[in-house]
Amino acid sequence: MTCIFCQIVSHQLPAEFLFEDEDLAVFKDINPSAPIHLLIVPKKHFDSLNALDEKNGNIMTKMWMTAKKIAEQQNTQNGYRILINTGREAGQVIFHMHMHLMGGWGSRAKPGKR
């Protein structure tokens, strides 16, 4: 298994987990670009959003709901961003579909445009 996120969600590689259940894991981005920068990662491997279809797309609902819940837990519900890079041209570098959850600006430096 060479996929780094498959290895993280199966605990073969370390990461700072905040949440995990049978379907997905939430852990800190190793190179954060916001005070709070988390990755919401399905345990099942999909190369990208392009690999989803009607049969397996319900994982996205769970990812959105998890993002909302974690944003509340992290006390950043007043300001957060969700991002899914899809394809190299958009900057996807890890080809295991994942959602970025960025926030935590509060009184700190405000986010720039992305």
Q: Where are the alpha helices (DSSP H) in 11-114?
A: 58-73
Please provide the size of the chain in residues. 114
Contacts of 64 (CB under 8 A, 6+ apart): 82, 99
Q: Give the residue closest to Zn ion by C-beta.
A: 3
| 112 is a site residue for ligand 5GP (CB under 6 A) | no
**Residue 96 is a catalytic residue:** no
Query: 41 to each of 49, 97, 108, how far by Cα in Å?
Result: 12, 7, 27
Q: Residue 99 binds which entry of ligand 5GP, Zn ion, none, with Cβ cut-offs from 5 to 8 Å by kind?
A: none
List the interface residues with Zn ion, window 62-101 (CB under 5 A): 96
Q: State the nearest-atom distance from the C-beta of 17 to ligand 5GP, in Å.
A: 10
Pick one of 11, 21, 30, 65: the residue that binds ligand 5GP (CB under 6 A).
Answer: 30
CB 38 within 8 A of CB 70: yes
Residues that bind Zn ion (CB under 5 A): 3, 5-6, 45, 96
